[in-house]
Amino acid sequence: MRRRLLIDKKFQLKTTFRIIGIIIIAFIFIIAVTGIVSTDNNRKISAAISDLNRSIDKEKKTVEVLFESARDKRDAYLDRKDGKLIDDHLETVSLMHTTILHLQKTIYQNLVLITIMIATGILLGVFLYIYLIRLTNRISGPIYVLTRHIQDILSGADPDLRELRKNDELKEFYAQFVNFVKKR
Protein backbone atom coordinates (compact mmCIF):
# COMPACT_ATOMS: atom_id res chain seq x y z
CA MET A 1 0.00 0.00 0.00
CA ARG A 2 1.35 3.42 -0.95
CA ARG A 3 0.95 5.43 2.22
CA ARG A 4 3.18 8.15 3.63
CA LEU A 5 1.48 10.69 5.89
CA LEU A 6 3.82 13.60 5.17
CA ILE A 7 4.20 13.76 1.40
CA ASP A 8 4.50 17.54 1.04
CA LYS A 9 5.69 18.35 4.54
CA LYS A 10 5.74 22.14 4.07
CA PHE A 11 2.18 22.35 2.67
CA GLN A 12 0.70 19.82 5.06
CA LEU A 13 2.21 21.22 8.25
CA LYS A 14 1.62 24.85 7.25
CA THR A 15 -2.05 24.18 6.48
CA THR A 16 -2.52 22.06 9.60
CA PHE A 17 -0.91 24.56 11.96
CA ARG A 18 -2.76 27.51 10.43
CA ILE A 19 -6.14 25.89 11.00
CA ILE A 20 -5.23 24.59 14.45
CA GLY A 21 -3.77 28.01 15.33
CA ILE A 22 -6.98 29.83 14.46
CA ILE A 23 -9.09 27.37 16.44
CA ILE A 24 -6.75 27.38 19.43
CA ILE A 25 -6.65 31.19 19.50
CA ALA A 26 -10.47 31.24 19.57
CA PHE A 27 -10.50 28.54 22.25
CA ILE A 28 -7.92 30.38 24.37
CA PHE A 29 -10.05 33.52 24.14
CA ILE A 30 -13.13 31.60 25.31
CA ILE A 31 -11.18 29.98 28.16
CA ALA A 32 -9.67 33.35 29.16
CA VAL A 33 -13.07 35.06 29.29
CA THR A 34 -14.55 32.14 31.23
CA GLY A 35 -11.54 32.13 33.55
CA ILE A 36 -11.80 35.87 34.22
CA VAL A 37 -15.53 35.64 34.93
CA SER A 38 -15.06 32.54 37.12
CA THR A 39 -12.19 34.13 39.04
CA ASP A 40 -14.27 37.24 39.68
CA ASN A 41 -17.23 35.11 40.77
CA ASN A 42 -14.98 33.00 43.00
CA ARG A 43 -13.61 36.18 44.60
CA LYS A 44 -17.15 37.40 45.29
CA ILE A 45 -18.15 33.99 46.64
CA SER A 46 -15.07 33.90 48.91
CA ALA A 47 -16.00 37.35 50.23
CA ALA A 48 -19.55 36.11 50.89
CA ILE A 49 -18.15 33.09 52.74
CA SER A 50 -16.01 35.38 54.90
CA ASP A 51 -19.05 37.57 55.61
CA LEU A 52 -21.09 34.53 56.57
CA ASN A 53 -18.35 33.27 58.90
CA ARG A 54 -18.19 36.71 60.57
CA SER A 55 -22.00 36.69 60.86
CA ILE A 56 -21.89 33.27 62.51
CA ASP A 57 -19.34 34.54 65.04
CA LYS A 58 -21.44 37.66 65.74
CA GLU A 59 -24.58 35.54 66.08
CA LYS A 60 -22.88 33.27 68.60
CA LYS A 61 -21.53 36.22 70.61
CA THR A 62 -24.91 37.97 70.57
CA VAL A 63 -26.70 34.88 71.88
CA GLU A 64 -24.03 34.37 74.56
CA VAL A 65 -24.36 38.01 75.72
CA LEU A 66 -28.13 37.73 75.72
CA PHE A 67 -28.05 34.60 77.89
CA GLU A 68 -25.52 36.14 80.28
CA SER A 69 -27.72 39.21 80.60
CA ALA A 70 -30.82 37.08 81.18
CA ARG A 71 -29.08 35.08 83.88
CA ASP A 72 -27.95 38.25 85.62
CA LYS A 73 -31.42 39.80 85.54
CA ARG A 74 -33.34 36.57 85.94
CA ASP A 75 -35.70 37.73 83.23
CA ALA A 76 -38.72 35.43 83.39
CA TYR A 77 -39.71 36.24 79.82
CA LEU A 78 -36.31 35.18 78.50
CA ASP A 79 -36.38 32.03 80.62
CA ARG A 80 -39.54 30.97 78.83
CA LYS A 81 -38.09 31.84 75.44
CA ASP A 82 -34.65 30.25 76.01
CA GLY A 83 -35.55 27.07 74.13
CA LYS A 84 -36.98 28.98 71.17
CA LEU A 85 -34.02 31.34 71.10
CA ILE A 86 -31.54 28.48 71.13
CA ASP A 87 -33.45 26.63 68.41
CA ASP A 88 -33.58 29.76 66.22
CA HIS A 89 -29.90 30.41 66.82
CA LEU A 90 -28.91 26.84 65.90
CA GLU A 91 -31.14 26.91 62.82
CA THR A 92 -29.59 30.20 61.65
CA VAL A 93 -26.04 28.94 62.17
CA SER A 94 -26.86 25.67 60.41
CA LEU A 95 -28.35 27.56 57.46
CA MET A 96 -25.24 29.72 57.23
CA HIS A 97 -22.96 26.66 57.30
CA THR A 98 -25.06 25.02 54.56
CA THR A 99 -24.82 28.17 52.46
CA ILE A 100 -21.04 28.24 52.95
CA LEU A 101 -20.80 24.62 51.78
CA HIS A 102 -22.87 25.40 48.66
CA LEU A 103 -20.68 28.40 47.88
CA GLN A 104 -17.49 26.37 48.34
CA LYS A 105 -18.93 23.71 46.02
CA THR A 106 -19.60 26.41 43.41
CA ILE A 107 -15.98 27.57 43.61
CA TYR A 108 -14.82 23.97 43.09
CA GLN A 109 -17.21 23.49 40.16
CA ASN A 110 -15.81 26.63 38.52
CA LEU A 111 -12.31 25.18 38.81
CA VAL A 112 -13.46 21.86 37.37
CA LEU A 113 -15.18 23.66 34.48
CA ILE A 114 -12.01 25.57 33.56
CA THR A 115 -9.95 22.36 33.83
CA ILE A 116 -12.37 20.49 31.57
CA MET A 117 -12.29 23.32 29.04
CA ILE A 118 -8.48 23.29 28.97
CA ALA A 119 -8.37 19.48 28.61
CA THR A 120 -10.97 19.67 25.84
CA GLY A 121 -8.87 22.29 24.05
CA ILE A 122 -5.78 20.09 24.24
CA LEU A 123 -7.67 17.01 23.02
CA LEU A 124 -9.26 19.06 20.24
CA GLY A 125 -5.81 20.26 19.15
CA VAL A 126 -4.44 16.70 19.04
CA PHE A 127 -7.51 15.42 17.18
CA LEU A 128 -7.37 18.27 14.67
CA TYR A 129 -3.66 17.70 14.07
CA ILE A 130 -4.21 14.03 13.24
CA TYR A 131 -7.30 14.76 11.13
CA LEU A 132 -5.70 17.61 9.19
CA ILE A 133 -2.50 15.69 8.48
CA ARG A 134 -4.62 12.88 7.03
CA LEU A 135 -6.78 15.34 5.07
CA THR A 136 -3.80 17.18 3.61
CA ASN A 137 -2.26 13.79 2.80
CA ARG A 138 -5.25 13.06 0.56
CA ILE A 139 -4.45 16.27 -1.33
CA SER A 140 -0.65 16.09 -1.29
CA GLY A 141 -0.59 12.49 -2.54
CA PRO A 142 -2.33 13.25 -5.86
CA ILE A 143 -0.27 16.43 -6.33
CA TYR A 144 2.91 14.40 -5.75
CA VAL A 145 1.80 11.80 -8.33
CA LEU A 146 0.89 14.53 -10.84
CA THR A 147 4.26 16.22 -10.29
CA ARG A 148 6.10 12.94 -11.00
CA HIS A 149 4.05 12.40 -14.17
CA ILE A 150 4.84 15.91 -15.38
CA GLN A 151 8.55 15.34 -14.67
CA ASP A 152 8.41 12.08 -16.65
CA ILE A 153 6.72 13.85 -19.59
CA LEU A 154 9.24 16.71 -19.50
CA SER A 155 12.14 14.23 -19.52
CA GLY A 156 10.59 12.39 -22.49
CA ALA A 157 9.53 9.26 -20.59
CA ASP A 158 6.07 7.79 -20.50
CA PRO A 159 4.50 8.31 -17.07
CA ASP A 160 3.40 5.25 -15.10
CA LEU A 161 -0.30 6.11 -14.97
CA ARG A 162 -2.14 4.44 -12.15
CA GLU A 163 -5.25 5.08 -10.11
CA LEU A 164 -5.12 7.27 -7.06
CA ARG A 165 -5.71 5.83 -3.61
CA LYS A 166 -9.28 5.14 -2.55
CA ASN A 167 -9.72 8.24 -0.34
CA ASP A 168 -7.56 10.68 -2.31
CA GLU A 169 -8.94 14.04 -3.36
CA LEU A 170 -8.56 15.60 -6.84
CA LYS A 171 -9.70 12.40 -8.61
CA GLU A 172 -11.62 14.30 -11.29
CA PHE A 173 -8.64 16.51 -12.05
CA TYR A 174 -6.35 13.48 -12.14
CA ALA A 175 -8.74 11.67 -14.51
CA GLN A 176 -8.63 14.67 -16.89
CA PHE A 177 -4.84 14.70 -16.67
CA VAL A 178 -4.71 10.96 -17.49
CA ASN A 179 -6.98 11.56 -20.54
CA PHE A 180 -4.70 14.40 -21.64
CA VAL A 181 -1.58 12.19 -21.35
CA LYS A 182 -3.21 9.31 -23.25
CA LYS A 183 -4.27 11.62 -26.12
CA ARG A 184 -0.87 13.21 -26.69
- Which positions ≥6 away from 165 have C-beta within 8 Å? 2, 3, 138, 141
The pLDDT profile of the chain, 184 residues, written as one tens digit per residue, is: 556 778 888 999 999 999 999 999 999 999 999 999 999 999 999 999 999 999 999 988 888 887 777 666 665 555 556 667 778 888 888 999 999 999 999 999 999 999 999 999 999 999 999 999 999 999 999 999 999 999 999 999 999 999 999 999 999 999 999 999 998 7
pTM to 2 decimal places: 0.68
CA–CA distance, 87 with 82 (Å, rounded to integer): 9
pLDDT in tens, 129-146: 999 999 999 999 999 999
pLDDT of residue 77: 57
Cα separation of the two ends of the chain: 30
Domain boundaries, the chain: 9-137
Q: Burial-class residue 141 by CB neighbours within 10 Å (0-12, 13-18, 19+).
A: buried
pLDDT in tens, 98-113: 999 999 999 999 999 9
Amino acid making up residue 180: F
pLDDT of residue 105: 96
